[in-house]
């Protein structure tokens, strides 16, 4: 990866240059094919900023970190860049798996005859069945899906454990998690 560093109103020291190189090279854990990156470091009175631009095939990511210390500004910009690259990598991985990553398909079907009780529905008889197609998500992604779709619960396959999990609403802001696992 080619990294260009531009310093505005400061002298670029070897220590600062090495620090930027070490931090920006960590972006390669998300994309092996980063074409180039540019870091623009600027000092204006009490404001110190670090702007990072990373170009991959098909995408360009730009973040700005601002702090009282230049090293902190670089750390902040790298953290934001990691978030952008992680999200883009998740989207790319989802597309490769053949799913959109944002849709949940629920089909409603009448229950089979053997599940319908002869009495009234108040006795616990099943009156409706919802079929859900399962996709692989991390727990934070599943919580975002729960909130974005305004569903009472969201069923998914946990990326980390490969088990079926359910996130559900508990009150106004709280979320619960059910982790299913089999006996060995």
- Contact predicate 114/64, CB 8 Å: no
Dist. CA 53–CA 36, nearest whole Å = 8
Domain boundaries, the chain: 2-96, 106-179
Q: What's the burial of 77, exposed, middle or buried (CB within 10 Å: 0-12/13-18/19+)?
A: buried
Query: What number does CATH give the domain 2-96?
Result: 3.30.160.100
Residue 33: per-residue pLDDT: 76
Top-level class of domain 106-179: alpha beta
Predicted confidence pLDDT, tens digits, the chain (184 residues): 789 999 999 999 999 999 999 998 888 887 777 889 999 999 998 889 999 999 988 889 999 999 989 999 999 999 999 888 888 888 877 777 765 444 445 555 555 555 555 444 556 666 777 777 788 888 888 888 888 877 788 888 888 888 889 999 887 778 899 988 766 4
56-62: long-range pairs with CB below 8 Å, 24+ = 56/31, 57/33, 59/88, 61/85, 61/88
């Amino acid at each position: 990866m080619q990294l260009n560093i531009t310093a505005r109103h400061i002298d670029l020291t070897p220590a600062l240059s090495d620090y930027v190189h070490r931090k920006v090279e960590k972006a390669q854990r998300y994309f092996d094919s980063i074409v180039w990156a540019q870091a623009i470091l600027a000092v204006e009175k009490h404001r110190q900023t670090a702007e990072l631009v990373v170009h991959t095939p098909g995408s360009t990511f730009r973040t700005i970190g601002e702090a009282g210390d230049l090293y902190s500004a670089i750390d902040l910009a790298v953290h934001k860049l990691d978030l952008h690259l992680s999200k883009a990598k998740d989207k790319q991985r989802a597309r490769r798996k053949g799913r959109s990553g944002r849709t949940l398909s629920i089909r409603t079907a009448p229950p089979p005859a053997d599940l319908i009780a002869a009495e009234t529905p108040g006795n616990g008889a099943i009156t409706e069945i919802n079929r859900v197609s399962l996709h692989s998500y991390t727990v934070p992604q599943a919580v975002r899906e729960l909130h974005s779709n305004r569903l009472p619960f969201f069923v998914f396959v946990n990326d980390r454990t490969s088990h079926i999990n359910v996130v559900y609403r508990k009150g106004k802001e709280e979320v619960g998690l059910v982790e299913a696992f089999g006996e060995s």
